[in-house]
């Protein structure tokens, strides 16, 4: 079991130019997408989140106010982000020894949840997005970091941390002290929005399965690139996992 703390957004995705060819609306946010991905894999998670009275999707924890909104065009141009009630997330008790958390709900929420887990001897896995919430002292509260390249460049880490670095179309990298392992993407699709969150799901799964870092990285890059062939945010993560599971099950078993 794992606890997840992160953002939930009404993702409004435009495809085309000024007069869009298509508009898709779905639940999103890194917190939600990772929760949905782990659920698809079969990993039980407690999701600490907040949505407003206007939330049109599945039942989640309601807080009075407006839900967060994320607006993007062609999965490349972010037009607007409104965090809404994500910034009013109530602090709840962590039930497991592993926490995956983002900075989508604000720095104060991150600190309170991370300290709760560390004080109980647990593990904190952080996706440091949005990076403007990051402070270098937060590194002491983290065991594993999953930033993208720009986020990593903004971080000053005084101590060695296990880092699974998202390199987008170039793949990913594992960094731990003097150890560096790089895995390149073999092919990529046209829809990058869900790739980073699919990468996160694979890192969490690999950690919980106690896989070696090179195996975790290989799966994370594979799952990320699969997501690039499916439109959407949470939908791309889920479809990538379904495709990956189908391939896993179709592999011949070693006798």
The CATH number covering residue 120 comes to: 3.40.1190.20
Question: Could you tell me the pTM of the whole model?
Answer: 0.95
Domain that holds residue 241: 2-250
Check whether 138 has a pLDDT greater than 60: yes
Number of domains in the chain: 1
Residue that the structure tokens 């779905």 belong to = 26
pLDDT band of 251, cuts 50, 70, 90: low
Name which of 114, 107, 158, 98 is nearest 131 in CA terms: 107
Instruction: Summarize the confidence of residues 240-255 as an average pLDDT.
Output: 75
Give 24: exposed, middle or buried? Use CB within 10 Å, 0-12, 13-18, 19+: middle
Cβ-in-10-Å burial (0-12, 13-18, 19+) of 83 comes to buried
Average pLDDT score over the chain: 95
Domain assignment present for residue 255? The answer is no
């Amino acid at each position: 079991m794992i606890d997840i703390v992160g953002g939930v957004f009404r993702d409004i995705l435009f495809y085309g130019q000024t007069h869009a060819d298509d508009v898709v609306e779905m639940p999103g946010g890194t917190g939600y997408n990772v929760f949905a991905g782990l659920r698809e894999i079969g990993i039980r998670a407690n999701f600490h989140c907040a949505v407003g009275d206007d939330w049109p999707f599945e039942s989640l924890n309601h807080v009075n106010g407006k839900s967060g909104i994320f607006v993007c065009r062609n999965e490349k141009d972010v037009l607007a982000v409104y965090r809404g009630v994500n910034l009013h997330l109530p602090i709840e008790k962590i039930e497991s020894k592993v926490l995956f958390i983002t900075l989508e709900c604000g720095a104060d929420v991150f600190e309170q949840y991370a300290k709760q887990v560390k004080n109980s001897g647990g593990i904190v896995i952080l996706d440091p997005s949005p990076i403007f919430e990051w402070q270098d002292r937060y590194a002491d509260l983290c065991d594993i970091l999953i930033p993208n390249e720009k986020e990593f460049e903004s971080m000053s880490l005084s101590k060695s941390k296990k880092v699974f670095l998202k390199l987008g179309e170039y793949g990913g990298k594992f960094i731990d002290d003097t150890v560096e392992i790089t895995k390149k993407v073999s092919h990529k699709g046209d829809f990058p929005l869900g790739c980073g969150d699919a990468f996160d799901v694979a890192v969490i799964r690999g950690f919980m399965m106690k896989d070696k870092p090179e195996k975790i990285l290989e799966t994370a890059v594979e799952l990320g690139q699969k997501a690039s062939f499916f439109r959407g945010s949470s939908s791309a993560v889920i479809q990538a996992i379904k495709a990956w599971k189908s391939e896993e099950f179709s592999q011949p078993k070693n006798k």
